[in-house]
Chains A and B, each alone.
Chain A
């Protein structure tokens, strides 16, 4: 539906509320231009007239009662009542009377708002005519309809309930009466823009209930037009954001705590690794006669023990950081094109020393040659981990390890088979848990032994869109398989 500015201007006059201020004698001491115009006078002529002059004669008795009630502090909200113009025409208005009090707290005059009943009826009719009428009234969300000046002309039960007013207390009030002070200026600016360009924008605001409580709300307006396409007002859905805000705040707090933990762990890891650099470096230097002179056999054994333990400690620190990152979901992958044969060659090179020391043969069967997109560092980390495990649990001299790479559907599958001790079936499900070690013999392992290796592999593989599993029988060796989705996780 298009919005026509000129058409709106034509009908604008009928959309403003009328105002008049009346003293205790029933004399009009002030009014707005529209009040005067609607009644067929100029403003100056109205001042000093009696409200009875603007009321059809047959209603004078009723008016007298209402007037007396007002002076006795009986509230008057949206009372339907006729007015009579200078030329004798009558029309209905909805009257809401507010008090203006003097310094001693006494009522000195009224501040009366009169809404053209026809306009209100038209807007309410539009709501009724729409196929959403029942949704409007019965919706658990709050609904209100306002005219172009922000006067509330209709609302639903949920709105009344949440705000704590009856419907008659709401109709005719300006929406700012239900807006928390902190949001009033923003709402007025929003409404001013809307009156000029007719563009409805969703806004977050703070509402105010009858008892003064404030709550956050999401306000989603839709324009209402008359049959000529002129803007009459807006229908507004209001969502109570209290719970969502609380959840958001809780999540934000949690995020901040996670970030602090993350920063702490990254920092502490760095601090722990820093002294390890000279420890490992000087141990290596001592083991090289060329650098610091020769050691005897016992001294060499001692320094190698220092070295092995320092390397183990370094691995532990690195693993802990990896586990922590995975728990926080902060593990990042660097997907790049990589050469599969080079990847396997790298893994073989890193296990070369350990396997030769035990006289273990490693063979490969790379069925899928060429390039794939993956995180080379992390895939190598998994392969190395599986290879070191295989070397550790495979007998000296007769040990055999076989690596296979093949395509399985759209996944790349890597398998590491050994002819080692194997893993009992009841222990297999726990293998990928943190700090689990299938065998206590692993204390003699050269690498890893942190109890984190396979759980890290599992986290890495899953982060790269694959899975990891084992096939094994005691005495018959084990085969660890893992798959990687080339290019990473599907989005």
Chain B
């Protein structure tokens, strides 16, 4: 799989990179919402792990931009949130918009690996 990580915290990006690459996938990173959106528009990924709270452009703004562009379903977007608070209410709305799923941070590494494997099998079956 080709995976993009979008997060303003480079340590978290590094951790995600180690995890993704250990499972044999290709990983690219973007250190914020703006460069992340740019990468999604110009490349084809199988999965985007998107942080919610970023100073330059929030994850929700990135999603809205992708919906507007009509490319939200071009790849699977998993929203990577720091807190479950408030997002639970948003979950159904986000799913309607075309977001694949939500993963609450701090994420257990095993959970992240499980989610990656689950998405990999979805990608393979399509």
Q: Which residues of A line the B interface, CB within 8 A? A: 270, 273-278, 280-282, 284-285, 288, 290-292, 314, 334, 377
The chain B residue with its CB closest to the CB of A292 is B18
Residue contacts A-B, CB under 8 angstroms, 22 given: A270-B83, A274-B9, A276-B106, A277-B9, A277-B11, A277-B15, A277-B107, A278-B11, A278-B12, A278-B14, A280-B108, A281-B12, A281-B15, A282-B11, A284-B108, A284-B110, A285-B18, A285-B109, A334-B88, A334-B89, A377-B84, A377-B88
A273, A276, A277, A290: the one within 8 Å of B22 (CB): A290
18 extra interchain contacts, Cβ-Cβ under 8 A, other than A276-B106, A284-B108? A270-B53, A270-B82, A270-B83, A273-B83, A277-B9, A277-B11, A277-B15, A277-B106, A277-B107, A278-B9, A278-B11, A280-B106, A281-B107, A281-B109, A284-B109, A284-B110, A285-B19, A291-B22
Kindly list chain A residues whose C-beta atoms are within 8 Å of the C-beta of B88: 334, 377
B18, B82, B107: the one within 8 Å of A274 (CB): B82
Cα–Cα distance between A281 and B108 once the two chains are bound (Å): 7
Chain B residues numbered 1-58 whose CB sits less than 8 Å from any CB in chain A = 9, 11-12, 14-15, 18-19, 22, 53
Interface status of B105 (Cβ within 8 A of chain A): yes
B89-122 vs A, Cβ < 8 Å mask (1 yes, 0 no):
1000000000000000111111000000000000
Interface-central residue, A274, A281, A284, A377, by most chain B CB under 10 Å:
A281
A314-B82 contact in complex given A285-B19, A290-B22, C-beta closer than 8 Å: no
Q: Which residues of B line the A interface, CB within 8 A? A: 9, 11-12, 14-15, 18-19, 22, 53, 82-84, 88-89, 105-110
The chain B residue with its CB closest to the CB of A288 is B109
Cα–Cα distance between A334 and B110 once the two chains are bound (Å): 27
Cα–Cα distance between A291 and B18 once the two chains are bound (Å): 7
Kindly list chain A residues whose C-beta atoms are within 8 Å of the C-beta of B53: 270
Cα–Cα distance between A78 and B12 once the two chains are bound (Å): 85
Cα–Cα distance between A273 and B52 once the two chains are bound (Å): 14
DSSP majority for the A interface?
helix
Kindly list chain B residues whose C-beta atoms are within 8 Å of the C-beta of A278: 9, 11-12, 14-15
Kindly list chain B residues whose C-beta atoms are within 8 Å of the C-beta of A284: 108-110
Cα–Cα distance between A488 and B109 once the two chains are bound (Å): 35
Q: Are A291 and B19 in contact (CB under 8 A)?
A: yes
Kindly list chain B residues whose C-beta atoms are within 8 Å of the C-beta of A282: 11, 15
Cα–Cα distance between A415 and B106 once the two chains are bound (Å): 30
Kindly list chain A residues whose C-beta atoms are within 8 Å of the C-beta of B89: 334
A487: min CB distance to chain B, Å: 18
B19, B84, B105, B110: the one within 8 Å of A277 (CB): B105
Q: Are A285 and B106 in contact (CB under 8 A)?
A: no
Kindly list chain A residues whose C-beta atoms are within 8 Å of the C-beta of B19: 285, 291
Cα–Cα distance between A281 and B109 once the two chains are bound (Å): 6
Kindly list chain A residues whose C-beta atoms are within 8 Å of the C-beta of B107: 277, 281
Cα–Cα distance between A234 and B89 once the two chains are bound (Å): 52
A285-B15 contact in complex given A274-B9, A277-B107, A290-B22, C-beta closer than 8 Å: yes
Kindly list chain B residues whose C-beta atoms are within 8 Å of the C-beta of A314: 106
Cα–Cα distance between A425 and B105 once the two chains are bound (Å): 40
Kindly list chain A residues whose C-beta atoms are within 8 Å of the C-beta of B18: 285, 291-292
B80: min CB distance to chain A, Å: 10
A281-B82 contact in complex given A290-B22, A292-B18, C-beta closer than 8 Å: no
Cα–Cα distance between A30 and B44 once the two chains are bound (Å): 91
B52: min CB distance to chain A, Å: 11
A273-B82 contact in complex given A280-B106, A284-B108, A285-B109, C-beta closer than 8 Å: yes
The chain A residue with its CB closest to the CB of B7 is A277
Cα–Cα distance between A400 and B69 once the two chains are bound (Å): 57
Cα–Cα distance between A123 and B88 once the two chains are bound (Å): 64
Kindly list chain A residues whose C-beta atoms are within 8 Å of the C-beta of B109: 281, 284-285, 288
Q: Are B15 and A273 in contact (CB under 8 A)?
A: no
A276: min CB distance to chain B, Å: 6
B28: min CB distance to chain A, Å: 19
Kindly list chain A residues whose C-beta atoms are within 8 Å of the C-beta of B110: 284
